[in-house]
Structure 1
Amino acid sequence: MRIAVIGATGMVGSRIVTEAADRDHHVIAASRTALHQPRSGVTSTQADASNAIDLAPVLEPADAAVLTVRVVPGEEDAFITVIEAVLAASASADIPLFVVGGAGPLHSPKDPDRLVVDDPAFVPARWRTTAAASVAQLTACREHSNENWTYLSPPAVLEPGVRTGSYRRGTTTLLTDHEGRSHISAEDLAVAVIDELESPGTDRHITIASEPPRRP
């Protein structure tokens, strides 16, 4: 499979590039700055994710696209411009789009009528604006004419770590372990992304989390 990864140099994007290449997929690694030393099976290219015309030659040879661009505090409007441009470009290329978004639009496991963005147990006040941008991002997907997309909401905590190769998969409710924690490594998130591309499901909005530790 030829996979275009938009935001390939970021924390998540770089790990998706590695995971895809390790599984013998060809990766088109797109970012504002090209990779210095792309590995075998990876083609590095510069592209402006907010410009559908700029993205066209990146997505044209691909079988699927993954968007991993993260919201920058204070630049939430630009974040929405990016998703709209990528939706348009992937529609023109007639390929599925996999969006690695945010946890904000998930339902709280403590209150199914409340979104995570509104639950301070998972989103402190200082991060609420950033989380709200992910809610707007998913809304932009739902309102766009392009319907060939899947939106992945990570757990509350996503950070570099160890690749275990295992995870739990859910849909629209935040996953937590028996201690109330919601987390996953960027490495295991990359595993889940490539799993979904290789064996697409029917859910439009999904989430994942680390396997909970076994009770003694």
Structure 2
Amino acid sequence: MSTITLYGATGTIGSRVLDEALRRGHTVTAVVRDPAKLTTRHPALTVAVGDVLDPASVAEHAEGADVLVSAVGGGDGPGHQALVKPSFESLVAGLRTLGADAPRLVTVGGAGSLRTPDGKQVWDAEGLPESLLQIMHAHGDALDFLRTVTDIRWTNLSPAGTIAPGPRTGTYRESLEDLLIGPDGQSRISAEDYAVALVDEIEQPKHTGERFTVAY
């Protein structure tokens, strides 16, 4: 079993990652700004107060962990632009201070930069609202940053084109750079099965130093 430090545990995806990790017997420290917002209680869960944008705080909470997971989002488009890439930079800076003992970094990514069947990227589609484009490019910029990092073991997991709360089936397909589309013509995954895939990667790393994506 792994010891996991988790940022973003109160969000739609982060809360599912927390539940899935605890379900499988992992030990989790959820680092939050406001502990009152995290209502989950479990013997293997510790709730800590910290700031994902403070590398010293990151190092403090990551020390001794096997894996650091970031499910941090920013709400709307400007919020994502202000938080996603800066949080990745802070996480990497904090982990670097731990040297060879730094845990692996697993981050929640976005689907916007995935390649579509026509050879373009998801964010090239016509008619996308500006706020959604801002969210997509915030995740794309964060991934571009991660791809410059060679001294930290990182993995970035992009969701399908649509991710929302739903059933946990425990099944999914994987790809690296291509948007996965199902027989119904849709690209989708439940937040629950996305969490399954993320914890699977924690337990059996297959994508260190790269981005991958999952969908039905």
TM over 0.5: yes
In structure 1, what is the equivalent of residue 214 of structure 2? 208
Stretch of structure 1 that moved more, 179-188 or 66-75: 66-75
Distance 2:50 2:41 in 1: 16
2:75 corresponds to 1:74: no
What is the deviation of 1:111? Answer: 1.7
Structure 1 gap ranges (5+): 211-216
> What residue identity is the alignment partner of 2:78?
G
> What residue identity is the alignment partner of 1:26?
T
In structure 2, what is the equivalent of residue 33 of structure 1? 34
Distance 2:112 2:60 in 1: 32
What is the deviation of 1:145? Answer: 4.9
What is the deviation of 1:129? Answer: 1.4
Distance 2:115 2:95 in 1: 28
Whether the 8 Å contact between 2:6 and 2:71 is mirrored in structure 1 is yes
Whether the 8 Å contact between 2:64 and 2:103 is mirrored in structure 1 is no
What is the correspondence of 1:50-69 to structure 2 with a 5 Å cutoff? 50-69=53-72
Distance 2:205 2:212 in 1: 11
In structure 2, what is the equivalent of residue 12 of structure 1? 13
Please state whether the residue corresponding to 1:143 is helix, strand or coil: coil
Q: Give me the identity figure in percent.
A: 34
Distance 1:2 1:126 in 2: 36
Q: How many residue pairs align between the two structures?
A: 207
TM-score, with length taken from structure 2:
0.89
2:122 corresponds to 1:116: yes
Please state whether the residue corresponding to 1:74 is helix, strand or coil: helix
Distance 1:183 1:29 in 2: 27
Stretch of structure 1 that moved more, 40-49 or 143-152: 143-152
> Structure 1 residues 28, 159: closer, same or farther in 2, change over 3 A?
same
Distance 2:166 2:191 in 1: 7
> What residue identity is the alignment partner of 2:82?
D
Whether the 8 Å contact between 2:105 and 2:152 is mirrored in structure 1 is no
Whether the 8 Å contact between 1:96 and 1:148 is mirrored in structure 2 is yes
What is the deviation of 1:6? Answer: 0.8
> What residue identity is the alignment partner of 2:114?
L
TM-score, with length taken from structure 1:
0.89
In structure 2, what is the equivalent of residue 2 of structure 1? 3
CA RMSD of aligned residues (A): 1.7
Whether the 8 Å contact between 2:78 and 2:131 is mirrored in structure 1 is no
What is the deviation of 1:124? Answer: 4.8
> What residue identity is the alignment partner of 1:170?
S
